[in-house]
């Protein structure tokens, strides 16, 4: 069932979104050469505990995972792109780090992801990350009241095609609100003008992600971490967005982020 949120409920989701944005900003500032992934996980735990928030990931147990997820942030490095299980490993110069965080604050969820390059960036990695960010902004711009769900998917797919990146359709965006995953799957490619009509009060987590040279994925033995099948590097960008009478409203925008 798709639940449209009231303006007051969207404000409450924005509270959660501001906190998610704050944590991702903190983690991005700490992501440096020599930093252990478990240190980033621990810092996220401390911030969530101090805020009195609740991790949406802790004990998350979907059909594809191997047992419940027992961390509060997904950290995926280089060819890893989604659901990266934090583990005892240090960041190296040039690593491409994806950080994905979802929390509940006072009963309302927000979900966001960002990609950062640690240390000295490679030009092809910068292009990939910028393409993911561009696709996210295109998806947000397409989330207009009266439009169709396919408009969002098509906007993401058009950016990927323009940059020459393949698109995987197994994992994509989703509804969000009282829980992390609500009804509606938002594929990262599709046809404009198709699908459900976008109504004010609809809240979505939009999350384009690309691998440089493949649309195929593989799972690590941990049952969670998803990688590009050919080992090519990846990017992942995500925001929680509300469709309103005045257009799309981003609920997880970071203070240090400049929309493209």
151 is in an annotated binding site: no
DSSP state at residue 33: T
CB atoms inside a 10 Å sphere around CB 259? 11
**Residue (of 32, 40, 24, 43) closest to 91 by Cα position:** 32
88 is in an annotated binding site: no
Copy the structure tokens of residue 198.
């976008």
111 is in an annotated binding site: yes
181 is in an annotated binding site: yes
Alpha-carbon distances of 129 from 135, 144, 212, rounded to whole Å: 10, 25, 10
123 is in an annotated binding site: no
- For 90, residues 6+ apart whose C-beta sits below 8 A from its C-beta are 34, 35, 36, 37
DSSP 69-138: B--SSEEEETTEEES----S-B--TT-EEEEEEEEEETTEEEEEEEEEE-SSPPHHHHHHHHHHHHHHHH
Binding site as annotated, residues for substrate: 83, 181
Binding site as annotated, residues: 83, 100, 111, 174, 181, 207, 238
Binding site as annotated, residues for a divalent metal cation: 100, 111, 174, 207, 238
């Amino acid at each position: 069932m798709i639940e449209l949120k009231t303006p007051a409920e969207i404000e409450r989701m924005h509270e959660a979104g501001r906190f998610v944005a704050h944590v991702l900003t903190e983690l991005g500032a700490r992501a440096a050469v020599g930093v252990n992934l478990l240190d980033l996980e621990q810092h996220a735990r401390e911030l969530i505990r101090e805020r009195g928030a609740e991790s949406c990931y802790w004990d998350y147990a979907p059909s594809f995972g191997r047992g419940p997820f027992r961390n509060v942030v997904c950290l995926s490095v280089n060819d890893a792109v989604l659901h990266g299980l934090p583990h005892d490993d240090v960041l190296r110069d040039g690593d491409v780090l994806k950080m994905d965080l979802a929390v509940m604050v006072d009963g309302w969820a927000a979900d966001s992801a960002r990609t950062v390059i640690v240390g000295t960036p490679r030009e092809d990695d910068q292009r990939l990350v910028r393409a993911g960010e561009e696709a996210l902004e295109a998806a947000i711009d397409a989330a207009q009241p009266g439009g169709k769900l396919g408009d969002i998917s098509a906007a993401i797919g058009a950016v990927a095609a323009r940059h020459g990146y393949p698109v995987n359709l197994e994992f994509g965006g989703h509804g969000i609100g009282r829980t992390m995953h609500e009804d509606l799957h938002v594929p990262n490619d599709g046809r404009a003008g198709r699908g459900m009509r976008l109504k004010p009060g609809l809240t979505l987590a939009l999350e384009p992600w690309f691998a440089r040279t493949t649309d195929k994925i593989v799972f690590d033995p941990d049952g969670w971490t998803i990688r590009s099948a050919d080992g090519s590097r990846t990017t992942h960008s995500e925001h929680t967005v509300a469709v309103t009478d005045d257009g799309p409203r981003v609920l997880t925008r970071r203070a240090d982020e400049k929309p493209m």
